Structure 1
């Protein structure tokens, strides 16, 4: 005879609190999120392209590939804005960091010859500030509009306790398309080619941990006039330049052998990414006018020259390599569409294991 264990069925009882809780009580305001979506719809609408089959509000964005491509290759890129956002919070300037976000991705895919098709963003915060978020996403829409890229959707995440009050984070990604036969790889770059530099707007979105350290050390008046009518804050927060439309128009006329978007790692670390192993880009820093901001950063932080060139763009936001016979035509075209462009160097044969970009 086996042992029998008594078993009593117990019911789980939930006590009813005197005050019921809502998602808003937990820190998430659904109505605020809905209002943000309504606020940004007209700005996103201006970015639409013929390939877009669905607008903002669905669970996914639908985009077809244009029939003009015979062998389309999709090119994607993703990035954020980095610690430049900390200055945006301190200065209460939210209107340009969205442009930074778009530019960091579309400029990256551009260097492989891609035409940006669409962009999606991710905006995360502890508590949604609808006016500030609207300014940010208006900037994202402007960046997309100015680069011919459709803003087809994104995600707004309100996560109480994850971020300090008044702060947020941004990320995004772009997808573009290029004809397979026109992908730019840099493999045909050879000694004798010419290196062109397109002017930047300032520090763009890189090196801001060092920028903030220099500000902390020198304690400048950020609202004081610094460069003509612009304040130091204006110069520091100037958005990343969008090179898409000028460069796409150049590529339609001239063979571009290689491009480098000058982001984290500055000139010395980004240009080698597009060079064959047997060549060096010999760059002369005296061939362009470095914006006053970089002189101020160098002096304020006592930063060595080579450290400047591997941290900041130092006034050159995009490097373009063309053949010597195409250089004058390329410069003329870029200037005709509003770019400030300089002949900044040449490609030469590499000697031994020397670094592939020499800036002097």
Structure 2
């Protein structure tokens, strides 16, 4: 008995669809090109030369995903901004140590490749790279039948940046009396979405039409803010002692990561306005304030620590760059038993 021949497409992998996606990606990636790119999309490995202006370059790397925010992207058909989230989660982390993001690679995995959906996702990745000033230099699209349900995918991203060795920011220079500055978030960003989804499920049938002046779904899916350009500009004129990207763990768990032993960050909760989306989540979910502060950014997506004498100049520089900035706290000596972050 003769057997019917099988092809890779019969097994669920469409090479032609993959080739079509590459054709879509190439012009998107071309918009992100910058100095240092020697060879980008299409080769087995991308090539990048560290800019010659660095005398002692140190490479700083970061990787992350988008988390369960993707569940809402699938349910609501919102695929155009999660790519920005993907880039933001890595480039903002790299920025914390004073590094300039140089290039980015993405990994897109699915059960069946839908070129239109994938193109929206990668379009967001390219836009994120433009906002960060880094090149989308390569990536991988993996079509794996049986691994993911229809209509679903997963994302991972990888960023490499560079900093002058003598100008790396470690937080070790922070001392009592320094000022804590906060940069506004665009919303929930990309952390805490398991709790967000639980609240939405509980509130089914009575969801608000708008939050923060936007349709409800737009407010919930607002992409993570990318802070690279204004902060890198600030570093040219101001000595920043420490920075923190406010991701999982919120304000109370991310700021201590960059503080020396014996110091405490005291935040003034009234110093910034919490976006309405957090007010709704807290009220609808009955979420205690401590849980909010250790799960969400609560309106502050990025934190900088500067000397008190530098604070006003730093705030002006960021404001001139179009970046909202607030004085949200100070560094104090930490007594035995005190929390690393105190919110008053």
1:260 to 222, 229, 244: 244
**Over 6 Å off, 4+ runs:** none
1:213-252 residue CA offsets vs partner (Å, 9 max, x unmatched): 0001111566823332x11111110000000000000000
How far the C-alpha of 1:16 sits from its partner, in A, is: 4.0
How far the C-alpha of 1:55 sits from its partner, in A, is: 1.9
Q: Tell me, which stretches of 5 or more residues in structure 2 are unaligned?
A: none
Contact 2:212-2:275 within 8 A present in 1 as well: no
Q: Residues 302-313 of structure 1: matches in 2 within 5 Å?
A: 302-313=286-297
Which residue of 1 is the match for residue 271 of structure 2? 287
Which residue of 2 is the match for residue 106 of structure 1? 91
Contact 1:128-1:158 within 8 A present in 2 as well: yes
1:150-194 residue CA offsets vs partner (Å, 9 max, x unmatched): 000000000001001000000011000000000000001000000
For residues 34 and 331 of structure 1, the distance between their equivalents in structure 2, rounded to whole angstroms, comes to 47
- TM-score computed with the length of structure 1 as normaliser: 0.94
Which residue of 1 is the match for residue 201 of structure 2? 216
Contact 1:223-1:233 within 8 A present in 2 as well: no
For residues 67 and 231 of structure 1, the distance between their equivalents in structure 2, rounded to whole angstroms, comes to 46
1:243 to 227, 240, 247: 227
2:175 to 178, 190, 213: 190
Which residue of 1 is the match for residue 56 of structure 2? 71
Which residue of 2 is the match for residue 96 of structure 1? 81
Which residue of 1 is the match for residue 140 of structure 2? 155
Contact 1:222-1:231 within 8 A present in 2 as well: no
Q: In terms of Rg, which structure is larger? A: 1
Which residue of 1 is the match for residue 131 of structure 2? 146
Counterpart check, 1:331 vs 2:308: no
Counterpart check, 1:274 vs 2:276: no
1:350 to 324, 334, 337: 334
SS at match of 2:339: coil
RMSD: 1.0
Contact 2:65-2:157 within 8 A present in 1 as well: yes
After the TM superposition, which of the residue ranges 213-222 and 330-339 deviates more from structure 2?
A: 213-222
Q: Residues 174-189 of structure 1: matches in 2 within 5 Å?
A: 174-189=159-174
Distance 1:220 1:193, change over 3 A: farther
Contact 2:265-2:340 within 8 A present in 1 as well: yes
For residues 163 and 308 of structure 1, the distance between their equivalents in structure 2, rounded to whole angstroms, comes to 32
Q: Tell me, which stretches of 5 or more residues in structure 1 are unaligned?
A: 1-14
SS at match of 1:171: strand
For residues 175 and 340 of structure 2, the distance between their equivalents in structure 1, rounded to whole angstroms, comes to 13
How far the C-alpha of 1:86 sits from its partner, in A, is: 0.2
Distance 1:132 1:223, change over 3 A: farther
Counterpart check, 1:231 vs 2:211: no
Q: Residues 8-23 of structure 1: matches in 2 within 5 Å?
A: 16-17=2-3, 19-23=4-8
SS at match of 2:39: coil
Contact 1:95-1:136 within 8 A present in 2 as well: yes
